Amino acid sequence: MSSGLGAGLPLETGVPGVFLSPPGFERVIGLLRDGIAALTADEPFHRLVIPPVISRATIERAGYVAAFPNLLGTVHGYGGTPSGWARLKPLVESGGEWHAQQQIGDLVLLPAACYPVYATLEGRTLDEPAKVTVEASCFRQEATSEPGRMRSFRMLELVTVATDEHCLKWRAARLEQVEGWFTELGLAVSVEVADDPFFGPGRKVYQAAQRMQELKWELRVPVADGTVQAVASANYHKEHFGETFGITAGGEPANTSCVAFGLERLAMALIARHGEESTRWPVDVLAALGGGRRA
């Protein structure tokens, strides 16, 4: 493109892990939404769009701060007086510490799309499985930025809240289905037991326990030359969120499972495999993306 603003792949902004998406890339994200909608048409999902912030209390209760303090982005604001600000204001221009009096607020940046669902179901008794799809902009303060590792990215998740039996069966079926879908999309996929990047001395123990119980599976594909990344994960949290938020299913604390798609990584993988011009992708690939009817 003569403007230098690009056509297909995300544009760098000069800040690590934060990108701008040109129309060609957004078209692929749209195709992925269509494909996932087609994939999930077999169950009655409740569709929710989630804001990019969440209650700090919720994220503390959910255990995220204890496990991943290094990844969480907090939201701070100025709560002082106008005269106090008059003293700080010159520091903005001089590059000084104008933010020394910023205070943490009641919101944090959302680190994964599924947390608000569990909090919203707080105190409920479920007679049948809750099934929700959510999409949100997520933030993680990633230390590195290899291709596909961003700080701001979009996550589309399928979530279910129900009995342990349902959640385990559902996750296994969805994992198999998504693996097949990625293969239809021409992606060289490997499915692997995985763990989360817990922070601090207890890390190894948590990760080993997570792997031993096979709580997390990742679907990994090439996203750029020489880089393979997880483009989706299938998670089983046992009764963790059910207990935390007092959700009951089958007379017990509810269990939860989610399948999380990283939309940018998936779009990058498809572009790496089939090229930037998505209108010219093979018909069978477009068929697996809801027919590829997007403008």
Could you list the residues that contact ligand AMP (CB under 6 A)? 112, 140, 142, 148-150, 153, 155, 230-233, 260, 262, 264-265
Q: Which two tokens stand for residue 67?
A: 């496990």
Q: Taking contact as CB under 5 A, which single stretch among the options 157-165, 192-200, 212-220, 279-287 is the one that binds Zn ion?
A: 157-165
CA 125 – CA 90 distance, rounded (Å) = 55
Which of the choices Zn ion, ligand AMP, none does residue 135 contact, using the CB cut-off of 5 to 8 A by kind?
none
Q: Which of 258, 285, 286, 289 binds Zn ion (CB under 5 A)?
A: 258
Torsion of CA 35, 37, 39, 45, to 10 degrees: 160
Chain residue whose CB lies nearest ligand AMP: 262
CA 102 – CA 226 distance, rounded (Å) = 42
Which of the choices Zn ion, ligand AMP, none does residue 231 contact, using the CB cut-off of 5 to 8 A by kind?
ligand AMP
Which of the choices Zn ion, ligand AMP, none does residue 234 contact, using the CB cut-off of 5 to 8 A by kind?
none
Which of the choices ligand AMP, Zn ion, none does residue 110 contact, using the CB cut-off of 5 to 8 A by kind?
none
Q: Which is nearer to ligand AMP, 178 or 249 (CB)?
A: 178
CB of 181 to ligand AMP, least distance (A): 14
Q: Which is nearer to Zn ion, 108 or 286 (CB)?
A: 108
Give one DSSP letter per residue of 49-99, joined into a string: E--SEEEHHHHHHTTHHHH-TTTPPEEEEE-S-HHHHHHHHHHHHHT--TT
C-alpha closest to that of 169 among 44, 255, 48: 255
Which of the choices ligand AMP, Zn ion, none does residue 221 contact, using the CB cut-off of 5 to 8 A by kind?
none
- In this structure, the number of other CB atoms found within 10 A of the CB of residue 9 comes to 19
- In this structure, the number of other CB atoms found within 10 A of the CB of residue 215 comes to 20
Binding residues for Zn ion, rule: CB under 5 A, are: 114, 157, 258, 260
